[in-house]
Each structure stands twice: as C-alpha cells, then as structure tokens.
Amino acid sequence: DAKTTQPPSMDCAEGRAANLPCNHSTISGNEYVYWYRQIHSQGPQYIIHGLKNNETNEMASLIITEDRKSSTLILPHATLRDTAVYYCIVRVDNYGQNFVFGPGTRLSVLP
C-alpha cells in the first residue's frame, strides 16, 4: 500500500469548513483513497472513499487531485463532535490486507 503523509494536528472553528490534506505521491493506478476517523476509545468510523473522481456523501467531500498524488477531506460545517483523529489510507481493492493506519491528523474543533 502507498505511504500517506498527513499533518499531525489541525484546529478548526466550530461551524467552519475543515480541510484535511493527505499526500500519497506513490499511489498506483488500482489504489483507492479511504478516509476514516477514530474518536477516543471507539472503533474507526468510515467516512468516504474514492479512486479518481471527487466524491461527496452526507458526512464529507473528498477532493482528489488530477495526478492522484494528494487528496483533501472536507467537513463542510465542523462541529465539536467532529473532534477526532482522521486517517487517510491508500490501498488496493482486495482482501486480506492490513489497514495501514498512520499517525493521522488530530483535528480539534474549537467552540
């Protein structure tokens, strides 16, 4: 799986958009980008995933650059409950692989 790089921490004001970047410059053509988050003492929560095109769901938007070497997760209106560690994961679409969760980005949403 391609290695990902994320900033260790970010702050965001409540109600504002949170933009979380991820670099994956060695991504290969069959690797998807997944975003998860983990709130303390809970299991990872799936947010969104994509291959090439931008994606949007009820939780967030995922913007993938044209060369696919980086992506941005956007939480459009951050709330205090969005405070968590966010993980960007790049992996192929098959079974039996570890989820390589790096250190992630610790997002703090401030009142």
Partner 1 sequence: DVKVTQSSRYLVKRTGEKVFLECVQDMDHENMFWYRQDPGLGLRLIYFSYDVKMKEKGDIPEGYSVSREKKERFSLILESASTNQTSMYLCASSLKPPLPQHFGDGTRLSIL
Whether residue 107 contacts residue 10, with contact meaning beta carbons closer than 8 Å, is answered with: yes
- Per CB under 8 A, 1 contacts partner 1: no
Q: Does 51 bind partner 1 (CB under 8 A)?
A: yes
Instruction: Tell me whether residue 6 or residue 12 sits nearer to partner 1 (CB atom).
Output: 6
- Enter the tokens of residue 79: 């709330």
CB of 49 to partner 1, least distance (A): 6
Of 8 and 111, nearer to partner 1 (C-beta) is 8
Compare residues 5 and 15 and give the one whose CB is closer to partner 1.
Answer: 5
* By CB under 8 A, residue 86 contacts partner 1: no
b/e per residue, 35-72, with b = 16+ CB within 10 A? bbbeeeeeebeebbbbeeeebeeeebbbbbeeebebbb
Contact range with partner 1 by CB under 8 A, out of 3-11, 21-29, 77-85, 99-107:
99-107
Asked if 5 and 20 count as a contact pair (C-beta separation under 8 A), the reply is no
Distance CA 87, CA 81 (A): 16
Binding residues (CB under 8 A) for partner 1: these are 32, 34, 41-46, 49, 51, 93-102
